[in-house]
Structure 1
Amino acid sequence: MKNINLIFGLFLLIFLLPGCDSKPVIGLLMDTIERERWAKDRDLFVEKVEELGGSVIVKVADSDASVQFQQALELFNEGIDALVIIPVDKTVAAGIVKTAKKSHIPVLAYDRLIWDCDLDFYISTDNIQIGEKQAEYLTKTKPEGNYVLIGGPTKDNNSVQLYLGWMNVLQPLVDKGDIKLLSNSFVDEWEPEKGYEVIKGLLDAGEQIDAIIAGNDALASGAIEALHEHDMDGEVLIAGQDADINAIRNIVFGNQTITVYKPLESMAFNAAAAAVKLAKGKNPTDNMSFTVNNGHQLVPAILLEGQVVNKQNVRMTVISEGFVAEQEVFE
């Protein structure tokens, strides 16, 4: 009888203990879903994690770094197995990573690198390359003239990466005197009004602008609004990023020159696969050799390539791939 009770007790213990096949719970900390693309990232990521047998708890910080830190603590208390962060602030988020490590929770940075911490994984696009694509496209069309650069907030590492890409292309032309940088600054938020303020200030001061390179489509849309107020629709070359629906419409109607389309589906799916592996204690970096330096260590990484979208290829890119619907663009 004692042997039967012992066997039953062992069976019950094994049954109750979480095993390798238990459903992994992934925490997803987001900066915002106010911008169109981030809602798509969220939906794609959750979809893929669920396909892989996991579940996702999503928390959105509304661009407040302190709120995001508190949300991380809430997720740790809820018992997540891995954490994915789209950081509000690359430095504040390092504290989240350090706290997660104390609880042995692996962390993946999504689209924005987190600095100076023991990060497990990073997935994004090659943002230096995206900056180069933006600048190369505009300079081929307008190799001489007055350029304006509107960088995003420096708390987002991508802003700096994009700027490096811009200057890789522009600096030789600036040195030759072919291009003059009328304004070369970073704003404090990824919001349209910030792009509007930069361009409105220059136009009100009587400056002639030939081309604008913006860190994202929201900043570009603000610049377009300022140009519209000065009856300059379609007169200035403008490059943005993210392939927002309004940006695609602006391109079709001739008010924006290009945007850069990030492969969100591939990025979200790769992040989901890596997060589920991390949650199960597996190494997501098998057969990978690419790394990115975050100031503390070389972080295993996947960097995908962005694609330029212009008026000529809009149907062959974002529409054919289902990123935006044709009726949304040509309504």
Structure 2
Amino acid sequence: MKRIGIILGWLVMVILITGCNQKPKIGFLMDDLNNERWKKDKELFVQKVEELGGIAVVEVANTDPQKQILQAQSLIDQDVDVLVVVPVDLLEAGEIVKLAHRNYVPVISYDRLIKDCNLDYYISTDNINIGELQANYLTKISPVGKYALISGPKSDYNAYLLRLGWMNILQPLIDKGDIEVVVDEFSNFWLPDEAYRIMTNYLKNTQDVDAIICGNDALASGAIIALKDIKKNGNVLIAGQDANIQAVRNIVAGDQTITIYKPIEALAFAAADAAIKIADGEAPSNMNITVNNGKRLVPAILLEASIVNRQNIKMTVISEGFMGESEIYN
């Protein structure tokens, strides 16, 4: 009996030690990896979680909202401590939050806001401000003219926020009669083919367009291809965002006017840091504002973005190590 008692005692100690040394497990649910920037988000997030002593488990839904819900359940079944979600669909991802909460797993919405649910935290850039930066830059160059607006898909709340930022700048000029919006469409996906289709449909009837504001650089590249078809590339102002390598090359070539550089490393670190703290039972720091998601005021971190143009490429994306000079100019 004494021997059995000693063995049981050791087993209890092993269980306690194992529990104490267990690393926080963070689930990272992503939409897709088609866009260059999301590959960087994934790499940086996993790196930051590991640096902070955790384990990151990544699932990619390939733009399928139902698949993302199943992946969430799978990660919950694997006993993740926190879910970090780049939602495929702003509303359907609410089911992920419900699933997680039924299993006492907190949820951080990453880059894109999950709407109409009891979301725990939101970490992103200020997307209204990004839209304002895009529109303000182009209207300083061309305060009069015909503008095309190509938003992202309606399933992504960022598309609405960006457009709101555009209209904050454009509406006074529209009211004055200085600017006419000749195209104003949401795309189905954040892909070049969408903008190519939208702009080709417009350009087949008229070539009269002075500026195009796009929800991201992939859409901007599609608009550029449509302009190349009629040999107008370089003659129309174009704004995108994400600072993709092709976008920066397009800026160097004179086909794109600006892109917006999001602080992806800071974004990934903020999300990883918050997730690890939550897993350790601490309150995440720097959640100094709230964002209304239609259901509640969600504690949030919103980081600032910056403009990249032909003149400051070396001072922005190159100096910060986001991409190399040889990648751009070769």
Task: Report the TM-score range of the alignment, normalised by the length of the smaller protein.
Answer: over 0.9
* 1:304 corresponding residue in structure 2: 303
Offset, 1:9: 3.0
SS, match of residue 316 in structure 1: helix
| Root mean square deviation of aligned Cα | 1.4
Letter in 2 for 1:53: G
CA distance in 2 between counterparts of 1:32 and 1:321 reads 25
* 1:198 corresponding residue in structure 2: 198
Please give the residue correspondences for 1:158-237 in structure 2 after superposition, counting only pairs within 5 Å.
158-237=158-237
Please give the residue correspondences for 1:43-54 in structure 2 after superposition, counting only pairs within 5 Å.
43-54=43-54
SS, match of residue 93 in structure 2: helix
Change (3 A) 1:102 1:152: same
* 1:22 corresponding residue in structure 2: 22
Offset, 1:15: 2.8
Letter in 1 for 2:273: A
Offset, 1:297: 1.0
* 1:98 corresponding residue in structure 2: 98
After TM superposition, the runs of 4+ consecutive aligned structure 1 residues lying more than 6 A away are none
SS, match of residue 302 in structure 2: strand
* 2:292 corresponding residue in structure 1: 293
| Conservation of the 8 A alpha-carbon contact between 2:26 and 2:81 | yes
Using structure 1 for the length normalisation, give the TM-score: 0.96
SS, match of residue 169 in structure 2: helix
| Conservation of the 8 A alpha-carbon contact between 2:145 and 2:178 | yes
Moved more, 156-165 or 202-211: 202-211
CA distance in 2 between counterparts of 1:188 and 1:101 reads 30
Which consecutive residues of structure 1, in runs of 5 or more, have no partner in the other structure?
Answer: none
* Structure 1 position 247 matched with structure 2 position 247: yes
CA distance in 2 between counterparts of 1:294 and 1:7 reads 55
Which consecutive residues of structure 2, in runs of 5 or more, have no partner in the other structure?
Answer: none
| Conservation of the 8 A alpha-carbon contact between 2:94 and 2:114 | yes
* 2:322 corresponding residue in structure 1: 323
CA distance in 1 between counterparts of 2:288 and 2:271 reads 17
CA distance in 1 between counterparts of 2:326 and 2:91 reads 41
Offset, 1:281: 2.2
| Conservation of the 8 A alpha-carbon contact between 2:288 and 2:301 | no
| Conservation of the 8 A alpha-carbon contact between 1:20 and 1:280 | no
Identity of aligned residues (%): 56
| Conservation of the 8 A alpha-carbon contact between 2:23 and 2:53 | yes
* Structure 1 position 112 matched with structure 2 position 112: yes
* 1:271 corresponding residue in structure 2: 271
1:263-311 deviations in whole A, cap 9, x for unaligned?
A: 00000011001111112222114x6431111111111111000100000
SS, match of residue 249 in structure 1: helix
* 1:67 corresponding residue in structure 2: 67
Offset, 1:20: 4.8
CA distance in 2 between counterparts of 1:44 and 1:173 reads 40
Letter in 2 for 1:296: K
1:151-181 deviations in whole A, cap 9, x for unaligned?
A: 0011101000000000000000000000000
Using structure 2 for the length normalisation, give the TM-score: 0.97
CA distance in 2 between counterparts of 1:158 and 1:210 reads 25
